[in-house]
């Protein structure tokens, strides 16, 4: 089985060869992309996780990060924005990126332990949304409950900071107008389509599809997940339960769950 290894870099430390390889990978999965725009967006970020094949060390994925700040009810709140993210399909289902990002969040939380810290992400595809919803106990928006007002303020502020001309506050969507749609990158039609079967079998995918109806045109659902000191324990317990269920299935106990889309 091909495996990934994660490496963290400051954007300024990427080589031209790295950036070219990242763009070529990005262009495999997204339409309406250009090398110039990709480079411009990349250089506006601060940090990047680069995922490489453990043997060949070829770049097979990446996710960019930029820091954000706001004040809610007189309290400082920090955010880490997760920008462009892509993983080669041959490596889907591996938790390498999730583990690397969780470690990074934990280190940032340790630096200012009393200050709330949120992962801010925007999702044009359901797999990015599931990466958050499946792995973070406290995340919004979600189908189970309404987003609390203070959390909605955080989402609104971060979205308006990064996309002031495109944010639809009422619906929590970063919406690109039709006249500019051809210049906004979006997932290619055959990449992670949302089928009727997925909607029927997975409430989170159904919720994402209902909230971001124009995801195919590149619209993004604005989301946050809170990083707490208990988060690594929650994540580890989740992995242990998953391994336990798989062990039972191999031994012939239990019922195999309905097939569900892999999370990047």
Arithmetic mean of pLDDT, 106-124: 92
CA distance 253 to 251: 6
Does residue 226 sit in helix, strand or coil?
strand
Rounded alpha-carbon distances, angstroms, from residue 200 to 15, 209, 258, 262: 44, 11, 11, 16
pLDDT at position 216, please? Answer: 84
Arithmetic mean of pLDDT, 40-47: 91
Arithmetic mean of pLDDT, 245-250: 65
* Of residues 213, 206, 214, 209, the one with CA closest to residue 178: 214
- The pTM for the full model equals 0.78
pLDDT at position 186, please? Answer: 67
Residue 147's φ and ψ, nearest 5 degrees, are -75, 125
* Of residues 63, 86, 61, the one with CA closest to residue 3: 61
Write out the DSSP string of 105-152.
HHHHHHHSTTS-EEEEEEESSHHHHHHHHTT-SSEES-SSSPPPHHHH
**Band of the pLDDT at 180, cuts 50, 70, 90?**
very low
Partnered with residue 48 across adjacent β-strands are: 9, 64
pLDDT > 80? residue 151: yes
Arithmetic mean of pLDDT, 170-190: 67
Rounded alpha-carbon distances, angstroms, from residue 139 to 25, 36, 106, 144, 155: 29, 34, 16, 11, 11
**Average pLDDT over the chain, rounded to an integer:** 85
pLDDT > 90? residue 182: no
Arithmetic mean of pLDDT, 123-130: 88
The two tokens of residue 252 are 């012939």
Arithmetic mean of pLDDT, 110-117: 93
CA distance 44 to 78: 18
pLDDT > 60? residue 172: yes
Arithmetic mean of pLDDT, 92-105: 86
First to last CA, the chain: 16
DSSP element (H, E) containing 87: strand 75-87
Contact call for residues 220 and 85 (beta carbons, < 8 A) = no
């Amino acid at each position: 089985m091909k495996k990934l290894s994660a490496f963290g870099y400051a954007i300024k430390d990427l080589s031209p060869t790295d950036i070219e390889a990242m763009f070529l990978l990005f262009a495999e999965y997204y339409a309406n992309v250009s090398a110039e725009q990709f480079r411009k967006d990349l250089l506006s970020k601060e940090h990047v996780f680069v995922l490489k094949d453990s043997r060949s060390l070829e770049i097979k994925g990446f996710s960019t990060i930029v820091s954000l700040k706001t004040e809610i009810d007189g309290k400082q709140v920090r955010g880490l924005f997760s920008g462009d993210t892509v993983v080669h399909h041959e490596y889907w289902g591996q938790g390498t990126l999730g583990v690397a990002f969780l470690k990074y969040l934990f280190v940032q939380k340790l630096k200012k332990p009393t200050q709330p810290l949120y992962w801010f992400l925007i999702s044009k595809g359901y797999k990015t949304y599931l990466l958050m919803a499946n792995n973070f106990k406290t995340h919004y928006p979600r189908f189970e409950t309404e987003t609390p007002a203070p959390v909605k303020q955080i989402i609104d502020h971060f979205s308006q900071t990064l996309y002031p001309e495109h944010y639809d506050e009422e619906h929590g969507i970063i919406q690109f107008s039709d006249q500019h749609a051809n210049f906004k990158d979006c997932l290619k039609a055959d990449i992670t389509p949302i089928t009727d079967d997925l909607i029927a079998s997975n409430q989170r995918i159904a919720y994402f599809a209902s909230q971001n109806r124009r995801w195919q045109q590149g619209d993004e659902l604005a989301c946050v997940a809170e990083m707490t000191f208990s988060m690594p324990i929650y994540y580890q317990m989740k992995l242990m339960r998953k391994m336990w269920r798989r062990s039972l299935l191999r031994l012939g106990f239990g019922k195999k769950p309905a097939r569900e889309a892999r999370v990047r």
